Amino acid sequence: LDPALRALFKSDMREQGAKLMQMIGVAVAGLHAPEALVPTLRGLGRRHRGYGVEDRHYATVGEALIWTLGQGLGPAFTAEAREAWLAAYTLLASVMQAGAAEADAAAA
């Protein structure tokens, strides 16, 4: 969706995709107790800031995720499922962005 972001991915894209899917799996499994996920997600956000990820990039990733789920799940990706995934991704992204902001504050 944004070819300029390709430069952020230094390793194999299949490996990056596997890491993303693993993290999404962990996050979804932990949504029943999000407070347990917060430290991990904040740390992930701090690390991603170090890789050059900016807050605006989270919207692009979210859009790509929702599109991919729609393509993969087809008719099973109902409006209700879409809204649930959007809510989950928004929560994950906002906690990661908070971690990135902590990294910015520490560096300042």
What is the average pLDDT across 48-69? 93
What is the average pLDDT across 39-60? 93
Task: Place 10 in a pLDDT band, splitting at 50, 70 and 90.
Answer: confident
State pTM to two decimals: 0.84
DSSP 10-42: -S-HHHHHHHHHHHHHHHHHTTTSHHHHHHHHH
* pLDDT tens by residue, 85-97: 999 899 999 999 9
